[in-house]
Amino acid sequence: MNPPLKVAPPRVPGDAVRGVLSRWGVGRDRYRVEPGLYGLGAPGPESPVLVTANYKLSFDAVRRSLPGRAAWLLVLDTAGINVWCAAGKGSFGTEELVTRIGSSGLAERVRGRTLILPQLGAPGVAGFEVTQRTGFRVVYGPVRVPDLPAFLDAGMQATPEMRRVRFPLSERLMLAPLEFLQTLKYFAVYVAVAAVWILDRGGSVRDLFSALWPVLGAILTGTVAVPALLPWLPFRAFSLKGWLAGLLWALFVAWVQGLSPRMTAAALLSLPAVSAFLALNFTGTTTFTSQNGVNKEIRLFARPMGACALAGVVLVIVEAALK
């Protein structure tokens, strides 16, 4: 006896708000649907089978793109992570797909043996192994969900435009809030340490503000400015893009604050390092590079970034000790 089909959660007005909040990292881990097999419309044995992640934004995007159509939707357990990121982490992968095919009773429900996977899930799935172990053939659908109807109507044939990966300004900025908010908890620690250090030494609130806004600006540079300017910043490596943007920010800070030579050197060492690290972290949310590329950047730039940041902190301490 086949396991019962999963019941898709109804779309309610609050979904739009929850979707926005999840992009900001609020309740993101809980914004998911139960893995398993769902029916869109009234699917039959000949209906297409689409595979997606159990991140609710991904799930909703697929079902919203197929109004009035009958299809099977096989949802993998990606721990509430979108397809692209889950493929890189391995949760949208061969083993989970094979397991989910078996546990859902899919083979008994459909006559066809074709699975339509998102193209951005390809890094995590070995199609030939899925076929060997389940008998289901893997076909990769278009990059963008709205192209699914045209893809299905064309007999599962994708045009070159459907295969093209875009990452426009709107999508880059959509990811920036989460990157920024994830960094704020570390900035809060810096605020606490700086407050104790400066106020305990007789400094004023203005002195504290002067120590805080340059670092906050470096964070915004790495998490917002770099994604916004990504195609136009020179260098291929994200770390170097972030370092260059951070260097420009540090020069601006030194000019506005009229820093001493030692403090200027501290700013030029530490602030670009912060922006570079955050820009490197942004690679995990883009399609501009691969996991191997990220690993290579980490090997090349992690230690220099750490050394520069440490050297900048040492210069700040020396400056304070000599006053």
Q: Is the pLDDT of residue 89 over 70?
A: yes
Work out the average pLDDT over 275-301.
77
Enter the tokens of residue 191. 């605020």
DSSP class per residue in 13-74: THHHHHHHHHHTTTTGGG-B---EEEEESS--TTS-EEEEESBHHHHHHHHHHSTT--EEEE
pLDDT value at residue 289: 62
Q: Is the pLDDT of residue 143 over 80?
A: yes
pLDDT value at residue 292: 67
pLDDT value at residue 7: 64
Residue with more model confidence, 232 or 289: 232
Q: Is the pLDDT of residue 1 over 70?
A: no
Burial 193-229 (b: 16+ CB within 10 A, else e): ebeeebeeeebeeeebebbbebbebbbbbbbbbbbee
* Position 78 confidence tier, pLDDT thresholds 50, 70, 90: very high
- Give φ, ψ of 281 to 5 degrees: -65, -30
Amino acid at 292: N
* Position 88 confidence tier, pLDDT thresholds 50, 70, 90: confident
CA-nearest of 283, 169, 295 to 232 is 169
Amino acid at 310: L
Backbone CA torsion sign across 222, 227, 233, 235? positive
Beta-sheet pairing, 49-53 with 114-117:
parallel
pLDDT tens-digit readout, 5-54: 776 666 655 565 555 556 555 556 667 889 999 999 889 999 999 999 99
Work out the average pLDDT over 124-137.
95
Q: Is the pLDDT of residue 84 over 90?
A: no
Q: How far is CA 7 from CA 38, 39, 58, 211, 284, in A?
A: 7, 8, 16, 53, 32
pLDDT value at residue 213: 96
Q: Is the pLDDT of residue 99 over 90?
A: yes
Residue with more model confidence, 281 or 112: 112
DSSP-derived 3-state class of residue 106? helix
Amino acid at 148: L
Highest mean predicted confidence (pLDDT) among 201-215, 243-257, 283-297: 243-257
Which alpha helices (H) appear in the chain, and where do they start and end? 14-23, 56-65, 83-89, 94-104, 106-109, 127-134, 148-153, 160-163, 169-200, 205-220, 226-229, 238-257, 261-281, 291-322
Q: Is the pLDDT of residue 118 over 70?
A: yes
**Cβ atoms 135, 106 nearer than 8 A:** no
Q: How far is CA 3 from CA 61, 115, 237, in A?
A: 25, 19, 48
Strands (E), the chain: 36-40, 49-53, 71-76, 114-117, 137-140
Work out the average pLDDT over 155-182.
86
Backbone CA torsion sign across 213, 216, 222, 228? negative
**Cβ atoms 168, 85 nearer than 8 A:** no
Average pLDDT, the chain: 88
Work out the average pLDDT over 129-139.
96
DSSP-derived 3-state class of residue 141? coil
Enter the tokens of residue 13. 């007005």
pLDDT value at residue 139: 96
Q: What is the number of residues in the chain?
A: 323
Amino acid at 232: W
CA-nearest of 37, 32, 78 to 57 is 32
Q: Which domains does the chain have, with CATH numbers?
A: 14-163 (3.40.50.11600), 169-322 (no CATH)
Task: For residues 310 and 131, give the distance between their C-alpha atoms in angstroms, rounded to a whole number.
Answer: 52
pLDDT tens-digit readout, 203-249: 899 999 999 999 999 999 999 999 999 989 999 889 999 999 999 99
Work out the average pLDDT over 126-152.
95
**Cβ atoms 246, 229 nearer than 8 A:** no
* Position 172 confidence tier, pLDDT thresholds 50, 70, 90: confident
pLDDT value at residue 4: 72
pLDDT value at residue 322: 80
